[in-house]
Amino acid sequence: MSARVLLLGSGFVAKPCLDILVKSGIKVTVACRTLQTAQKLSAGLEGATPIALDVSDSEALDNEVGKNDLVISLIPYTYHATVIKSAIKNKKHVVTTSYVSPAMEALNDEAKAAGITVLNEIGLDPGIDHLYAVKMIDEVHAAGGKVLSFLSYCGGLPAPEDSDNPLGYKFSWSSRGVLLALRNSAKYWKDGKIEEISGPELMNAAKPYFIYPGYAFIAYPNRDSTTYKERYHIPEANTIIRGTLRYQGFAQFIKVLVDIGFLEDTEVPFLAKSAEPITWKQTVANVLGVASTNEEDLVAAISAKTVFPSVEEKNRIISGMRWLGLFSDDFITPRGNLLDTLCATLEPKMQYGPTERDLVMLQHRFEIELADGKRETRTSTLVDYGVPGGYSSMAKLVGVPCAVAVKQVLSGGITERGVIAPMNAAINNPLIKELKEVYGIECIEKTLG
């Protein structure tokens, strides 16, 4: 394919995306804030050209966008609108894996007028989840049926054998981003009514969730699911919940951290980067407002601020806090607030080892009323493991759909213009076909009864 693409970003999903594009004969300019980062990502790839680029420099951005046919924006979502504006000016297509933000949506008319496609939400979640939700819903409607309930849960986790820490979790991306997401409120349809859960109560909403007997999952709702009545064209649905999967025990542990204030990002003087470093046990004592740094006294102070589900759970969680070093003489790495200071400790302790692999589990569950009034349950499930020394599952399942979307836009397989997401068969079917046939990525659909 004779085309030129500008790839912005160097995150873990960029590599599989870049690999596919250069193998397809597409010339890719890899643009990062530093030349060294771009060179590392491009190393050994014929057809990849590394450059340094600051996207806040509008003249430099416009210059690079103008040299290419399409821009992939894998930088933080807050910069996407800036990139799209440059693409509109230069009449170039854009692909992102991020949700469409209000700032991006506001550029829809301009993008249409420029005759460009700005395709978003084409990674894993969002991305593959949309492809197979829309597919099943369309099939049900085409047969005269109704979708009464739609549950969709996704989790990026360590493989069970590598989930060997108190949280059962390891970081494949920003630890800060993972923890901040746990503070988000949730909103969804349940039994015909909209329910809301505030951020501090989110972990209380986590419940055991059965997919396969071999996995001990819990699930909790994620952000605002109410918009999917309209987005997925299921006005008949009484229940619509999109959420997150974690392993059993995760929610209770996080709830204690929330209750004692460790997910707060407000500035704390004794955690200032310029402050004299103190020990973790002194930090915990300061946060809890107690004079003693004795572990027994710290545990008593923690117990006064939270409710443990049982004695066994208390012992497990306190043991986990001990594993993190919160009662130790280890010095903290002060980062200005509790959240970021905690991240500085979590990051080295909860990384993937060189022989470890991650797991992605995605499942849609549809409760359906058929045209004849009978009811049945259908599922659409993706289970995928990373390859030690190769791509992580998360990197592959975000990066590959992104690359396939780029190829489809460039080849004319996707022709819809404006700021769009994969919400209809015209966009989705070519993506589903190539992901399955070329890369072996698909959701397995089953009818349970």
**Residue numbers annotated as active site:** 125
Collapse the DSSP code of 202 into the 3-class scheme (helix H, G, I; strand E, B; otherwise coil) and give the result. helix
Is-contact 295 327, C-beta < 8 A? yes
Structure tokens at 300: 């008593």
Nearest CA to 263 among 177, 348, 173? 177
Half-sphere exposure of 138 (CA within 13 A, CB side): 13
- H helix or E strand, kind and range, residue 64: helix 58-66
Six-digit token string for 433: 């076909």
* DSSP calls for 357-402: -EEEEEEEEEEEE-TTS-EEEEEEEEEEE--TTS--HHHHHHHHHH
Query: What is the residue whose two structure tokens read 């300019």?
Result: 29
Question: Rounded to whole angstroms, what are the CA distances from 17 to 73, 218, 270, 391?
Answer: 12, 31, 43, 11
CA neighbours closer than 13 Å in the CB half-sphere of residue 356: 18
Q: Write out the DSSP string of 18-50.
A: HHHHHHTT-EEEEEESSHHHHHHHHTT-TTEEE
> In this structure, are residues 41 and 15 in contact, taking their beta carbons and an 8 Å threshold?
yes
Query: Which position has the token pair 């004969």?
Result: 25
